Amino acid sequence: MDTVFIEDLRIETVIGIYDWERQIRQVVALDLEMAFDNRKPAASDKIADTLDYKAVAKRLIAFVESSTFQLVETLAERCAEIVLEEFEVRWLRLKLAKPGAVRGSKAVGVVIERGEKPA
């Protein structure tokens, strides 16, 4: 299985359950691993044949910046749905971290896997 990845994509959004969190923008960080057969783009050397990680990142940035979810679980699920549906990815692992959310920790968050993982 080949993997295309995006690491530490930092995006500001409204996220959280507390009243004060609903009034500010906080940073979330996304890590994505997406299954994609890279043989065709490797042979053609054409961007049209790839899983365009820049297009994925731009789409997720636009979505996350405009979102106002309370839970990181909900935001992670919606991001995964976008990638699976709009970019024809069959499987992904997505880590969504909320840096500084718990005193003494670097970050907290969730890791989800969706789709069918190729062998």
Could you give the residue numbers annotated as active site?
A: 98
Task: Count other C-beta atoms under 10 Å from residue 79's C-beta.
Answer: 26
How many Cβ atoms from other residues are within 10 Å of residue 85's Cβ?
9
23: amino acid identity, one letter:
Q
Residues 6+ apart with CB under 8 A from 60: 9, 11, 30, 79, 82, 83
Sheet with 26-35, edge to edge strand ranges = 3-13, 26-35, 91-99, 107-115
Which residues have a Cβ under 8 Å from the Cβ of 59 and sit 6 or more positions away? 82, 86, 87
